[in-house]
Amino acid sequence: MYIGGTVISSVEFHGNMSLVIFMSKCPLACRYCHNVELLEDNTEWSLEKVISEIDSSADFLDAVVISGGEPLVQTDAVIEILKHVRKIGLKTKLDTSGIYPDKIRELLDLKLLDYVSLDVKTTFSKYRKITGANVGFNVKKSMKLINDDSNVHLELRTTYVPTLHTKKDMLNLVDEIKGDIYTIQQFRNKNVLDPALEKVEVPNPHDLRKLAEELKPYFEGQVKVKSAEFGEEII
């Protein structure tokens, strides 16, 4: 399996000390992607090495987070990792773009997930503008599958890029989505896939909070803002 690295984090799965495993590879070309080095990374890890990494930290972990890249490019590897995590009694979280609904259904059927963070790039009809692929329908299908499983907590996340998202886009988007949490993430202009975005100003966290306040009445769940300056804020 291809893995770009791991890190211990107290913020990637709120309230849980987690080992985050960054799976390499992703078929999308999101213009603001800041994990560019993972897209074509060929660093190979054996399953035994991954399990050893988990077990060596297990005594002070609450959870394991599978992130990327797009982890479900390597679905079989993800399943084997999550089965081990379940076996040793830790919680599980998956970060995904949601472009593979059939693979998400497989993980749900195997009862391997406690929490999913689903990146919703923009309104489902405008996905090609952001990702280079017309996959919005797949993401919508994945969202419904996860919502239909009462045992899985669903967080939806959008990275707000001022030149790619208008306020109208965000209002239309929040009208299309459903989940437990909606998080608006601050765009970062360093190490992005599209060099033109390096010249785009990073959104002011106060402006992000104001945007979130305007969107909150249209979303039934909890609304958050995530910025470098203030971390996660509940609106």
What local confidence, expressed as pLDDT, does residue 7 receive? 94
- Write down the mean pLDDT value for the chain: 94
| Adjacent-strand bridge partners of 5 | 22
Number of H helices, E strands in the chain: 8, 9
Strands lying side by side in the sheet with 3-13: 3-13, 16-23, 63-67, 91-96, 115-119, 153-160, 181-186, 222-227, 231-234
- Give the separation between CA 46 and CA 161, rounded to whole angstroms: 37
What local confidence, expressed as pLDDT, does residue 91 receive? 97
Of 118, 63, 57, the closest CA to residue 93 belongs to 63
- Whether residue 44 is predicted with pLDDT greater than 90 in this model: the reply is yes
- Whether residue 38 is predicted with pLDDT greater than 80 in this model: the reply is no
**CATH fit for domain 3-234, picks 3.20.20.70, 3.50.50.60, 3.40.50.1220, 2.40.10.120:** 3.20.20.70
What local confidence, expressed as pLDDT, does residue 34 receive? 79
Q: Can you say whether residue 20 is alpha, beta or left, with left for phi > 0 and alpha for psi between -120 and 50 degrees?
A: beta
Q: How confident is the model at residue 146 (pLDDT cuts 50, 70, 90)?
A: very high
User: How confident is the model over 62-118, as pLDDT tens digits?
Assistant: 999 999 989 999 999 999 999 999 999 999 999 999 999 999 999 999 999 999 999
- Give the separation between CA 66 and CA 22, rounded to whole angstroms: 6
Q: What CA dihedral angle connects 14, 127, 151 and 63, to 10 degrees? A: -30
Query: What residue ranges do the domains of the chain occupy?
Result: 3-234
- Give the separation between CA 1 and CA 42, rounded to whole angstroms: 9
- Give the separation between CA 180 and CA 211, rounded to whole angstroms: 19
What local confidence, expressed as pLDDT, does residue 41 receive? 82
